[in-house]
Every structure is written in structure tokens, then in C-alpha cells.
Amino acid sequence: MFATILENVRKTCPLVHNITNYVTVNDCANIVLACGASPIMADDIGEVAEITALCAALNLNIGTLNSRTIDSMLLAGKTANELGHPVVFDPVGAGASRLRTDTALRLLNEVKFTVIRGNVSEIKTLAAGSGTTKGVDADVADRVTEENLGEAVAFAKAFAAKTGAVVAITGAIDIVADAKTACCIRNGHPMMSSITGTGCQLSAMTAAFVAANPDKPLEAAAAAVCAMGLAGELAHARLAPYEGNATYRNRIIDAIYHLTPAMLEKGASYEMR
């Protein structure tokens, strides 16, 4: 299933517009290139509608939110909706401040998203209209575990039904769900939490995967999550003993670059619920 998803990305090389986190913007651009797509970053309100119109998908990330880009995100999102282009939303840090929470909720209310990707605390904040996070990380009380997986799957499906989006909750166990079906994914490595931006990169790559597979948003989002987790595994296996998180970041991008459809199909670790 996932092999075809990646093949389509490499075959079509979709152009992806990212209004994203300036802490990770370079890594987001490189991961999009590595998976076989093409990135463009533009956040000035004077050009976002034009750039969005040129692209096959839009990725909105509020990681370094500021008042200047809020209107840009809204305009870009509405333009993508008018054109029927997929839109991915990454509500980084929703729940950590009123500005982030209010902006995330406004975007959710005014833009139709194809995929919403975040940690469980961020997604719970969107669902409840308020919440708390540990900065941009999931609150410990919100961690998805084997013990509460069934409850988390039900929550993800319910929120997907409410929003009409595919909901991707990422963490030690990832859940990608629409209203009826959930894919529970166990790829990844604990060291991925030691570098900045794996989530931001995943959202950018998810936009590329959905752009190349517009009729299969659930499968495309799940394939992107599996690919990122598998890259984390492969990258860690290739680290020398003296190498650390900076090298690990680069090796993840390299692993995506060298990932073949057959490798993704074989290495993806998931179950459907």
C-alpha cells in the first residue's frame, strides 16, 4: 500500500507551499526535497495567495507564530480551499499560550484541513478548545501508551469525524485516523526527540505525500508517518559511536533521500483498527 504512495511522490514531484516554523524551515525544505517533492517558503501576505495557487499543497505550521503571519496563513488556507488543494495543519504548541490556542482554533474554524498533525496534547487542545502543553512537547499525562491506545484511537476517529480531516497524532505510538479507520504505527526511535523539528519535517513531507495522492489522504498521511519513523530507525543504525544529534538530524534526511518504495513497504510497522 505505502510503496505506491511514495512512487507517486517521486513520479509527480509536487510543489509544496510551506508557511512554517523558522527554527526548522531549512530542514523542512530539505526533507521535502529528499522525499522527491519540491518546497517553496513564502509567508508575506502580499504573495501567499499567488504562491499557493502555483503549488499542489499547502503546509501551515504555527511553531514560531507571530501576528504578521496569522493573516497570511488564513489567506493561503482559504486560497488552497478554493482551488481544491490539500492543506496540512501543524498546531505546534497549541495550549501553551492564548495566542497559539486562539490562532489554532481560528484556523481550524476558517480553513478546511486535509490532515491535522500534532502531538496528543496539541490535538486535545484543538478538540477541547483549551489545554496545556509542555512547551511544544506533549504533556506527560497525555502520552499515548499501549494501555490507553484504544481510547486514543477512539478520540482520533471522533476528532476526524468532527473536522473532516485525517488526524495524525504522533508520539511513541503514532495514530493516523479518519472517521472510520485508524492506522497505529510503531516506527521510530527515541533519539528522534533529541533533535528539533522532526514533527515539522513530517508535516511538510505529509503535504507532499497527500499532494501526490489526493484521493487517498489517510494512506498518504500514514505512509509519511511510517517513512519518517523508519528514517529515524535507519539513521540511528548508521550513527558512529562519536556522533550525536546534529549528525542524526542529517542522517534522517539522508535516509528519506535513499528510501525506496520497497524499503518503505517492508519496513513500515503498523496495524489497522
Share of the chain above pLDDT 90, in %: 92
Model pLDDT for residues 168-187, shown as the tens digit of each residue: 999 999 999 999 999 999 99
Residue 243: pLDDT over 90: yes
Domain 2-272 falls in which CATH fold? UDP-N-acetylmuramoyl-L-alanine:D-glutamate ligase (3.40.1190)
Give the per-residue pLDDT at 134. Answer: 47
- How far apart are alpha carbons 236 and 51 in whole angstroms? 36
Model pLDDT for residues 71-116, shown as the tens digit of each residue: 999 999 999 999 999 999 999 999 999 999 999 999 999 999 999 9
Side-chain half-sphere exposure of 75, counting CA atoms within 13 A: 16
Give the per-residue pLDDT at 1. Answer: 83
* Mean pLDDT of the 5-17 span: 98
Residue 140: pLDDT over 50: no
* Mean pLDDT of the 180-207 span: 96
Q: What share of the chain is helix, strand, coil (3-state, %, to 5)?
A: 55, 15, 30
Q: What is the phi-psi region of residue 131: left when phi exceeds 0, alpha when psi lies from -120 to 50, beta otherwise? A: left
- How far apart are alpha carbons 213 and 56 in whole angstroms? 11
* Mean pLDDT of the 52-61 span: 98
Residue 228: pLDDT over 80: yes
* Mean pLDDT of the 200-210 span: 98
* Mean pLDDT of the 216-240 span: 98
Give the per-residue pLDDT at 144. Answer: 87
- Beta strands at 15-19 and 57-61: parallel, antiparallel or unpaired: parallel
Local confidence band at 138 (pLDDT 50, 70, 90 cut-offs): very low
Measured CA angle at 170 (ends 202, 195), to 5 deg: 60
Domain chopping of the chain, boundaries = 2-272
Give the per-residue pLDDT at 132. Answer: 53
